[in-house]
């Protein structure tokens, strides 16, 4: 079996499964093998009923005290029964398994495994599996993969396919050179991939992950080194100078630039006028006001007679920037256009034609801009917002548009300078410090779920004062399909506790882009009071009138991501609040949440987060939401990043070596990674 073999070559994968796998981006064997589990189900020991907590999946041993009962709810038959051991009792329920009414035996000992949930203020176990002594003995301590899924694709199906592929795939020679594997103590790829899917233990998982993380960083670093080696300071044919309108814009802005913004703008201005192609990253915390720097730079390009483009990671954000830019630029006679994936084919065609004819000065858009064939008439500047969402290849791709335009990238990822230099090695970095002076620091509180009613009353008061609220919904474990359901349910029960005058809407990733845009527009226009959402609102959104954010199950997020989420409030003059609700208020959770409660500084939060836990501590939690890497995480794996970079440096010092037969595998992998021949 080879990596490029279709997934159909795997036994049991037929036409139907092929379509389902394609939906999650798996079409061949190699893609399947790097379709890593989202998390692992750890099979724990039997524990006393009295010790269970909400949200945990536990194993209990005991017996049923009285006859089960059956009820109908929303068309489902629900069976419930009391389960007890020496320490206490717990309600257990099953959906649509009516035969249990007869088969459950009173007084007999059962071993049950299931998740503890809260229903009507009581803990209960939902939909448990019954295990024999033998099952229990076999599974104890094992880690079972939990894969990201899509409707129709079961965890069982993915597990089976992966197991089959692992058995038959020929890994060949490891592409990581032996000397590097030895020096850094890395597993063979073959072993690592197997252990990532089916870890023998937590330790084995850690080792396996380390290998793959290293490999991701190593390829990235190596690609960057080669890029730098072949890229000199390019002379630019675009000398961009600010004119009257750029200066004028500074006067019509409803605020004065902060010191940080002034410095960043000054650097960008010099770059644009220098006669050398600009390659600059602006790093500034959430809410520091990066957009206006992009606006000024783009205006500068137009005033010098050329076109500019700005690329953002989501459609919602593209629409928002578009409207903001329109507001300032239209009065100046500048033509701004929007280009996103969800526009009709006809509309897209028209905008593209206008761009090609030079009838549009500035284009705002999503990836559609890169991947579809947009030809600019005279593109002089490309801005990429929320840079951390794009991989290095996309960055390159974008700069290939036109005639080596100037590149400006913006990111809020709070990473230490040393890491920034590795990650953004091909860019000059401006660190934009400080927030607008008028801002009041966000007031934070980390609380337990018992605080929820108070939080709702507080929101109601804020809404009464004309402000708006975000609620970030608990993340979902069972499967990603229920993400939508979860948000819907939450919004529905919220409507029951809030007065009817409070306008509540919901937002989740599975909605159509046009629908998402509409809701965000309504929210921005103040027509929605409370928005219940998943993390889709995490990036870039700016609604200064929103003053409260409540994050449910805050313990499931990394601190850096919590910080990004929190950045959606505190963007205006009014006092803002962020409530971190801990679904499972363990000591560690609260300690972690105290960090973000106590500081609004993204750099500090990210650093503290690292100190608080050893590497690999946060099993399966991605810290940064970074799309640079599949598995690696720049915070959690900072050490591996340093090491891989060191290895890549050493390697490139002897470029010739990649030509050796011995490194053929690495060379091929690298060419696959960068999408172009190297030598």
Distance CA 57, CA 116 (A): 6
Name the residue nearer to ligand ADP (CB basis): 113 or 571: 571
Closest alpha carbon to 558 in 493, 645, 618: 618
Q: How far is the CB of 34 from ligand ADP (least distance, A)?
A: 33
Name the residue nearer to ligand ADP (CB basis): 13 or 578: 578
Q: How far is the CB of 257 from ligand ADP (least distance, A)?
A: 5
Site for Mg ion contains 567 (CB under 5 A): no
Name the residue nearer to ligand ADP (CB basis): 89 or 256: 256
Name the residue nearer to ligand ADP (CB basis): 78 or 250: 250
Q: Which residues contact 272 (CB under 8 A, 6 or more apart)?
A: 238, 239, 240, 241, 278, 297, 300, 301, 381, 406
List residues near ligand ADP by CB under 6 A: 255, 257-258, 261, 284, 286-292, 412, 436, 438, 540, 542, 544, 571
Name the residue nearer to ligand ADP (CB basis): 221 or 542: 542
Q: Residue 391 binds which entry of Mg ion, ligand ADP, none, with Cβ cut-offs from 5 to 8 Å by kind?
A: none
Distance CA 399, CA 515 (A): 31
Site for Mg ion contains 284 (CB under 5 A): no
Distance CA 28, CA 45 (A): 38
| 315 neighbors 516 (Cβ within 8 angstroms) | yes
Name the residue nearer to ligand ADP (CB basis): 155 or 576: 576
Q: Residue 623 binds which entry of Mg ion, ligand ADP, none, with Cβ cut-offs from 5 to 8 Å by kind?
A: none
Residue 189 is encoded by which pair of tokens?
Answer: 């790829």
Comparing every residue's Cβ against ligand ADP, the nearest one is: 289
Q: Residue 258 binds which entry of Mg ion, ligand ADP, none, with Cβ cut-offs from 5 to 8 Å by kind?
A: ligand ADP
Closest alpha carbon to 54 in 460, 548, 452: 452
Site for Mg ion contains 540 (CB under 5 A): yes
Name the residue nearer to Mg ion (CB basis): 128 or 540: 540
Q: How far is the CB of 381 from ligand ADP (least distance, A)?
A: 17
The residue count of the chain comes to 679
Distance CA 535, CA 284 (A): 21
Q: Residue 288 binds which entry of ligand ADP, Mg ion, none, with Cβ cut-offs from 5 to 8 Å by kind?
A: ligand ADP
- The packing angle between helices 291-303 and 244-252, to 10°, is 150
Q: What one-character-per-residue DSSP string does 386-435 give?
A: SGGGS-HHHHHHHHTSSSS-EEEEEE-----HHHHHHHTTTSEEEEE---
For residue 649, CA distances in Å to 88, 219, 220, 659 come to 60, 11, 12, 17
Distance CA 627, CA 345 (A): 28
Distance CA 68, CA 140 (A): 28
Q: How far is the CB of 31 from ligand ADP (least distance, A)?
A: 34
Q: Residue 436 binds which entry of Mg ion, ligand ADP, none, with Cβ cut-offs from 5 to 8 Å by kind?
A: ligand ADP
Residue with tokens 């609102």: 537
Task: Sketch the per residue contact string, 104 through 143, with Mg ion: x for CB under 5 A, - otherwise.
Answer: ----------------------------------------
Q: Residue 267 binds which entry of Mg ion, ligand ADP, none, with Cβ cut-offs from 5 to 8 Å by kind?
A: none
Comparing every residue's Cβ against Mg ion, the nearest one is: 540
581 forms beta bridges with 447
CB-count exposure of residue 429 (10 Å: 0-12, 13-18, 19+): middle
Q: How far is the CB of 296 from ligand ADP (least distance, A)?
A: 11
Name the residue nearer to ligand ADP (CB basis): 176 or 292: 292
Q: How far is the CB of 385 from Mg ion (least distance, A)?
A: 6
Q: Residue 261 binds which entry of ligand ADP, Mg ion, none, with Cβ cut-offs from 5 to 8 Å by kind?
A: ligand ADP
Name the residue nearer to ligand ADP (CB basis): 287 or 474: 287
Name the residue nearer to ligand ADP (CB basis): 32 or 551: 551
Quick check: helix, strand or coil at residue 325?
helix
Distance CA 450, CA 110 (A): 33
Task: Say which DSSP state 46 is in.
Answer: B
Distance CA 350, CA 366 (A): 17
Q: How far is the CB of 543 from Mg ion (least distance, A)?
A: 12
* Segment interacting with Mg ion (CB under 5 A) among 139-147, 491-499, 515-523, 539-547: 539-547
| 420 neighbors 626 (Cβ within 8 angstroms) | no
Q: Residue 286 binds which entry of ligand ADP, Mg ion, none, with Cβ cut-offs from 5 to 8 Å by kind?
A: ligand ADP
CB-count exposure of residue 56 (10 Å: 0-12, 13-18, 19+): middle
* Segment interacting with Mg ion (CB under 5 A) among 51-59, 535-543, 544-552, 666-674: 535-543
3-state helix, strand, coil in the chain (%, to 5): 45, 20, 35
* Segment interacting with Mg ion (CB under 5 A) among 73-81, 97-105, 533-541, 553-561: 533-541
Name the residue nearer to ligand ADP (CB basis): 290 or 506: 290
The residues binding Mg ion (CB under 5 A) are 540
């Amino acid at each position: 079996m080879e990596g490029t073999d279709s997934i159909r070559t795997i036994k049991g994968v037929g036409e139907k499964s092929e379509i389902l796998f394609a939906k999650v981006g798996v079409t061949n064997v190699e893609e399947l093998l790097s379709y890593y589990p989202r998390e692992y189900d750890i099979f724990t020991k039997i524990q006393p009923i009295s010790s269970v907590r909400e949200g945990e999946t536990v194993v209990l041993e005991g017996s049923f005290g009285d006859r089960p009962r059956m009820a109908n709810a929303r068309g489902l038959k629900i069976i419930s029964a009391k389960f007890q051991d020496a320490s206490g009792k717990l309600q257990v329920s099953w959906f649509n398994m009516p035969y249990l009414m007869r088969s459950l035996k009173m007084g007999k000992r059962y071993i049950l495994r299931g998740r503890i949930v809260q229903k009507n203020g009581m803990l209960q176990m939902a939909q448990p599996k019954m295990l024999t002594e033998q099952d229990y003995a076999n599974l104890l301590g094992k880690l079972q993969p939990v894969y990201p899924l899509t409707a129709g694709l079961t965890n069982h199906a993915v597990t089976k396919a992966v197991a089959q592929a692992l058995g038959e795939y020929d890994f060949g020679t490891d592409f990581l050179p032996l000397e590097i594997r030895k020096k850094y103590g890395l597993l063979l790829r073959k072993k690592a991939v197997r252990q990532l899917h089916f870890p023998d233990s937590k330790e084995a998982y850690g080792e396996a992950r380390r290998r793959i993380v290293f490999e991701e960083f190593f390829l990235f670093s190596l690609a960057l080194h080669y890029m730098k080696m072949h890229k000199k300071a390019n002379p630019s044919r675009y000398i961009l100078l600010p004119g009257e309108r750029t200066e004028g814009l500074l006067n019509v802005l409803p605020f004065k630039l902060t010191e940080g913004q002034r410095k960043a703008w000054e650097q960008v201005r010099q770059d644009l006028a220098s006669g050398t192609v600009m390659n600059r990253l602006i790093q500034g915390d959430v809410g520091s006001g990066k957009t206006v720097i992009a606006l000024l730079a783009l205006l500068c390009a137009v005033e010098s007679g050329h076109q500019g483009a700005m690329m953002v990671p989501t459609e919602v954000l593209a629409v928002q920037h578009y409207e903001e830019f329109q507001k300032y630029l239209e009065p100046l006679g500048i033509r701004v256009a929007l280009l996103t994936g969800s526009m009709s084919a006809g509309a897209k065609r028209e905008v593209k034609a206008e761009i090609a004819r030079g009838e549009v000065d500035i284009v705002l858009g999503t990836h559609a801009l890169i991947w579809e064939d947009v030809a600019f008439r005279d593109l002089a500047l490309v801005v990429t917002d929320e840079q951390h969402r794009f991989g290095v290849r996309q960055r390159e791709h974008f700069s290939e548009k036109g005639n080596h335009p100037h590149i400006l990238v913006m990111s809020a990822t709070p990473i230490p300078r040393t890491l920034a230099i590795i990650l953004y090695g091909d860019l000059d970095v401006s660190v934009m410090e400080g927030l607008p002076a008028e801002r009041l620091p966000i007031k934070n509180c980390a609380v337990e779920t018992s605080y929820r009613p108070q939080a709702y009353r507080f929101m109601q008061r804020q809404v009464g004062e004309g402000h708006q609220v975000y609620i970030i919904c608990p993340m979902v474990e069972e499967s990603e399909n229920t993400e939508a359901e979860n948000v819907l349910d939450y919004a529905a029960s919220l409507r029951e506790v809030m007065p009817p005058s409070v306008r509540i809407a919901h937002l989740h990733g599975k909605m159509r882009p046009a629908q998402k845009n509409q809701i965000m527009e309504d929210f921005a226009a103040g027509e929605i009071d409370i928005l219940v959402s998943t993390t889709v609102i995490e990036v870039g959104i700016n609604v200064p009138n929103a003053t409260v954010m409540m994050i449910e199950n805050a313990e499931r997020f990394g601190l850096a991501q919590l910080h990004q989420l929190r950045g959606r409030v505190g963007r205006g003059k009014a006092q803002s609040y962020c409530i971190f609700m801990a679904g499972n208020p363990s000591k560690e959770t609260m300690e972690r949440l105290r960090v973000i409660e106590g500081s609004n500084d993204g750099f500090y939060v990210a650093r503290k987060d690292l100190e608080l836990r050893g590497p690999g501590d946060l099993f399966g939690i991605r810290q940064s939401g970074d799309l640079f890497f599949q598995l690696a995480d720049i915070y959690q794996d900072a050490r591996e990043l340093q090491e891989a970079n060191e290895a890549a440096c050493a390697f490139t010092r002897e470029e010739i070596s990649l030509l050796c037969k011995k490194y053929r595998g690495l060379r091929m992998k690298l060419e696959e990674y960068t999408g172009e021949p190297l030598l």
